[in-house]
């Protein structure tokens, strides 16, 4: 294939799924319920791309409170999932076309498997992905390279044959450390200035820009 790329790896939240409002509402509800106040949104946004457990642990004062906050967050998110999560414009069509063209496709996410599959189903993209890597599959989640390396092995491709597309600095760090090319999705919650710090190989302003990247 052109450009030597055989596989496209995607982050999920903020890259394929427009879930920022769902995530932020879940965060605010959880903080108010357990802490009695809500820290600034920017504090939670800075951790986008980390696992939910890692995010919650930054606020919980005890291990028991952490477990309670996780339960509260997940219950609220599950209740509002169908109403607040949707695919970004062009995402389902782009994924379907990549599959049609024969690219190997993987999801590499910090969202847990059940929730990931539920979100992917809402976006209409489940059948197109051969591999889905979630925190249950690895010891070290993003920004560690292990999830990306796991996806590469499962797809049977070398790092130089893949590009990892994500919207957060954690995605850029993980892909770079795993040896893939990395592309920054500019439609997520992070600014271009913040993503520039990670020096991505390519910038995507629309979902369909992936085709120009793959065609060199």
Catalytic residue numbers read 11
CA distances to 53, 140, 157, 164 from 147, in Å: 16, 7, 14, 11
CA distances to 7, 9, 201 from 101, in Å: 11, 15, 22
* Number of CB atoms found within 10 A of residue 143's CB: 21
Q: 158 — alpha (psi -120 to 50), left (phi > 0) or beta?
A: beta
Q: 208 — alpha (psi -120 to 50), left (phi > 0) or beta?
A: alpha
The answer to whether 172 touches 195, Cβ cutoff 8 Å, is yes
């Amino acid at each position: 294939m052109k450009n030597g790329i055989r596989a496209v790896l995607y982050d999920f939240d903020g890259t394929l799924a427009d879930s920022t409002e769902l995530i932020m509402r879940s965060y605010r509800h959880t903080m108010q319920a357990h802490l009695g106040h809500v820290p600034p949104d920017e504090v939670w946004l800075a951790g986008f791309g980390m696992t939910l457990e890692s995010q919650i642990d930054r606020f919980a004062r005890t291990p028991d409170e952490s477990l309670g906050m996780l339960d509260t967050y997940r219950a609220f998110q599950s209740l509002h999932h169908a109403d607040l999560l949707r695919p970004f414009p062009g995402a389902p069509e782009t994924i379907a076309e990549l599959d049609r063209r024969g690219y190997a496709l993987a999801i590499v996410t910090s969202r847990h498997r059940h929730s990931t599959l539920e979100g992917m189903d809402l976006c209409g993209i489940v059948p197109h992905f051969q591999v889905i890597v979630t925190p249950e599959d690895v010891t070290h989640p993003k920004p560690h390279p292990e999830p990306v390396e796991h996806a590469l092995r499962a797809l049977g491709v070398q790092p130089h044959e893949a590009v990892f597309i994500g919207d957060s600095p954690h995605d850029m760090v993980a892909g770079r450390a795993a040896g893939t090319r990395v592309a920054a999705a500019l439609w997520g919650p992070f600014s271009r200035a913040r993503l520039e710090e990670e020096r991505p190989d390519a910038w995507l302003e629309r979902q369909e820009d992936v085709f120009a990247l793959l065609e060199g």
